[in-house]
């Protein structure tokens, strides 16, 4: 008899895990997938394009219902899991059901950070994380709408770009001195700001949010310097945190996220975690690629094959209205730097070399060689033979 395998979460990590599992162990498990959202798994990366009207909601779906049936998965959508009973090996659902499991995979993702500002609970203050958020913004976005987006990272940039393309007068507020400060150096961040402003987004840097203004609904954002940015809608897009509440309540070891070993097992050997909810060697990855790597490893392990997850080299890809940005590896000062900068064309490349190997890369404008640089970083490839042409990308470097 197939052992019951339960997956909590129906996002990108869960869908990838099921895809990988179907490829190596189809039929071995009685697979059930629980999702709190009332949708099939969808591509969150496309949410800003949905907001801007460039992509239909239906096009974000990762797999049709027929595919889930074909791999033998039972889908339960729109019904949150409430509790894990580790002793009884069951999961309680919001509709009163209790589902048994032999193995349990947590793919609960992350949840948006809401700043604890005065007035943050007013109508008109929203987050930018899922389809429900996007549908709220789409209903509001129209020419003449005044929108303020808090957060100059990936989520904030995507939200601001989508709102601006939908016709809203949009201001992006960021606490730090440059956009995407964790992924970009000052030169690339300056180019990004120029490109974002060219799309019609007003950018306010070194701007600390102090309070949401308004009586019955949000009417503006007051900054710490006393200025008030008037707004009809305020979007908090200032980061995410691992959604580890279920695991923590069940007594599983947790730090920022659900702590897992190199086999993706939690402190309970029959319960696993992957994706943004998982914390591996002290790191919670908030991007898709590590989640996919974890999904592949876990699928192989549950199929009885040898597999080990040893961490991921983090890379960031951003494509917003024709703006292309790539960052990977260690971009902090130190080591040798190779810089290629054509201001007229808006092209920028900064490569950081340490101990004869590529340690980090920042690209703006043309990011087509990003995967090449990421491969060099990940594999710690010696670059002496490539160095003279390295800044010009794969085609010249590998031909040298």
Strands 233-236 and 103-106: unpaired
Dihedrals phi, psi of 307, to nearest 5 degrees? -160, 150
| pTM score over 0.75 | yes
Summarised one tens digit per residue, pLDDT across range 173-182 is: 999 999 999 9
Contact 28, 303 (CB under 8 A): yes
By the 10 Å C-beta count (0-12 exposed, 13-18 middle, 19+ buried), 193 is classed as buried
pLDDT tens-digit series, residues 140-160: 888 889 999 999 998 899 899
Q: Which residues pair with 242 in a beta bridge?
A: 110
pLDDT beyond 80 at 1: no
Length of the chain: 400
Mean pLDDT (the chain) is 94
Q: Reply yes or no on whether the pLDDT at 321 is more than 70.
A: no
User: Is the pLDDT reported for residue 112 higher than 90?
Assistant: yes
Q: Is the pLDDT of residue 73 over 70?
A: yes
Question: Tokens 């009332």 appear where?
Answer: 38
Does residue 331 have a pLDDT over 70? yes
pLDDT of residue 333: 85
- Residue-level pLDDT at 197: 95
Structure confidence at residue 226 (pLDDT): 97
pLDDT digits (tens, 9 = 90+) for 94-104: 999 999 999 99
Exposed (0-12), middle (13-18) or buried (19+): which is 282, by Cβ within 10 Å?
exposed
pLDDT at 21 over 90: yes
pLDDT digits (tens, 9 = 90+) for 295-309: 999 999 999 999 999
pLDDT confidence of 399, banded at 50, 70, 90? low
Residue 397 has pLDDT above 80, yes or no: no
Q: Token match 């670059």: residue?
A: 383
pLDDT higher than 80, residue 400: no
Band of residue 398 on the pLDDT scale cut at 50, 70, 90: low
pLDDT value of position 205: 98
Q: What is the mean pLDDT of residues 344-370?
A: 94
Range in 106-115, 238-247, 332-341 the model is least confident about: 332-341
Distance CA 274, CA 259 (A): 10
Which tens digit of pLDDT belongs to each residue from 41-51?
999 989 988 98
């Amino acid at each position: 008899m197939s052992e019951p395998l339960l997956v909590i979460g129906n996002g990108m990590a869960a869908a990838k895990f099921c895809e990988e599992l179907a490829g190596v162990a189809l039929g071995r498990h009685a697979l059930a997938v629980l999702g709190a959202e009332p949708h099939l798994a969808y591509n969150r990366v496309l949410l800003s394009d949905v907001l801007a009207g460039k992509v239909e909601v239906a096009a974000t779906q990762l797999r049709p219902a027929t595919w889930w049936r074909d791999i033998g998965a039972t889908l339960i959508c729109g019904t949150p899991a409430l509790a894990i009973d580790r002793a009884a090996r069951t999961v309680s659902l919001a509709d009163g059901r209790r589902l048994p499991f032999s193995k349990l995979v947590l793919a609960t993702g992350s949840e948006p950070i809401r700043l604890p500002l005065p007035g943050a609970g007013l109508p008109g203050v929203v987050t930018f994380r899922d389809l429900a958020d996007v549908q709220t913004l789409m209903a509001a976005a129209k020419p003449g709408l005044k929108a303020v987006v808090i957060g100059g990272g990936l989520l904030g940039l995507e939200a601001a770009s989508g709102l601006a393309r939908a016709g809203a007068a949009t201001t992006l507020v960021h606490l730090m001195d440059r956009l995407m400060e964790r992924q970009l150096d000052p030169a690339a961040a300056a180019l990004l700001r120029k490109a974002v402003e060219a799309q019609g987004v007003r950018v306010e840097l070194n701007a600390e949010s102090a309070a949401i203004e308004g009586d019955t609904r949000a009417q503006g954002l007051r900054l710490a310097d006393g200025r008030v940015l008037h707004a009809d809608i305020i979007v908090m897009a200032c980061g995410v945190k691992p959604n580890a509440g279920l695991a923590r309540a069940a007594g599983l070891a947790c730090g920022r996220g659900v702590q897992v070993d190199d086999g993706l097992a939690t402190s309970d050997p029959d319960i696993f975690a992957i994706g943004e909810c998982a914390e591996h060697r002290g790191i919670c990855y908030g991007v898709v690629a590590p989640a996919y790597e974890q999904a592949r490893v876990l699928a192989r392990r549950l199929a009885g094959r040898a597999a080990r997850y040893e961490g991921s080299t983090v890379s960031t890809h951003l494509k917003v209205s024709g703006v292309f940005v790539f960052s990977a590896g260690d971009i902090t000062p130190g080591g040798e730097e190779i810089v290629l900068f054509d201001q007229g064309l808006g092209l920028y490349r900064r490569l950081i070399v340490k101990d004869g190997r590529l340690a980090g890369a920042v690209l703006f404008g043309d990011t087509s060689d990003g995967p090449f640089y990421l491969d060099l970083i990940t594999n710690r490839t010696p670059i002496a033979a490539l160095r003279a042409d390295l800044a010009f990308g794969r085609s010249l470097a590998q031909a040298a």
